[in-house]
Structure 1
Amino acid sequence: MVGASAAALAALNVEPICAKLFAAAATISGVANTYDIAVLPQGLR
């Protein structure tokens, strides 16, 4: 039910939103770096 409502709402938006930063454009295209922190802080190990 929610998926159909979300799709209908998205169909109403005909103006694309442009990415303002290179990183945002890479994330939108599906080319995002993950696990990019080489060394975890001491408290997160």
Structure 2
Amino acid sequence: MPKSLLLADDSVTIQKVVGISFANEDIQLTTVDNGRDAVAKARA
């Protein structure tokens, strides 16, 4: 079962760089644009 990573950053560039960095790892990456959305995702 993959580990989960929740990334909150408003920079699309940073989101893409992190996505590329973890592309070959067994990690499910979820990205959101702000802290409020991150809290909502974490609670879901």
Query: When the two structures are superposed, what TM-score results if normalisation uses the length of structure 2?
Result: 0.30
Greater Rg over alpha carbons, structure = 1
- Larger fraction in strand: 2
Q: Which has the higher contact order (CA 8 A, sep 6+)?
A: 2
Query: When the two structures are superposed, what TM-score results if normalisation uses the length of structure 1?
Result: 0.29
